[in-house]
Amino acid sequence: MKSIQVFDPAMCCSTGICGTDINPDLINFAAMLVQMGNRGIKVERYNLSQQPMAFAKSQAVKTLLQQEGVEALPAMFWDGALILKGRYPTQEERREWVRAAAGKDASSQEVSS
């Protein structure tokens, strides 16, 4: 089974979609993760303020944080490979990820920050 893991920076809730000033990128990103889950992709999302042990248990995330600090968050992994760090995917990247969920391999994409 394909999988995507998202390690979010510390946010007030699990998705960051709360409060009065909601970032539309977070809404679109959350919707994309739902789409991917509906296509059979295993989606795991961790929030630094609510699930710090997930960050501590992932050697890749620990190394990333040691080398780059929390500025490297959010960090996204596709089948264990880091595909994006330091920002959420653009609209075009989200489209590519959804296409990848349909069969194309996203792990071949370069890491951006």
pTM: 0.83
Task: Tell me if 107 sits within 8 A of 83, measured CB to CB.
Answer: yes
Per-residue pLDDT at 14: 59
For the chain, give the number of residues: 113
Per-residue pLDDT at 103: 73
pLDDT tens column, 3-30: 999 999 987 765 666 666 677 788 889 9
Q: What is the mean pLDDT of the chain?
A: 85
HSE-up (13 A, CA, CB side) for residue 82:
20
pLDDT over 80 (residue 92): yes
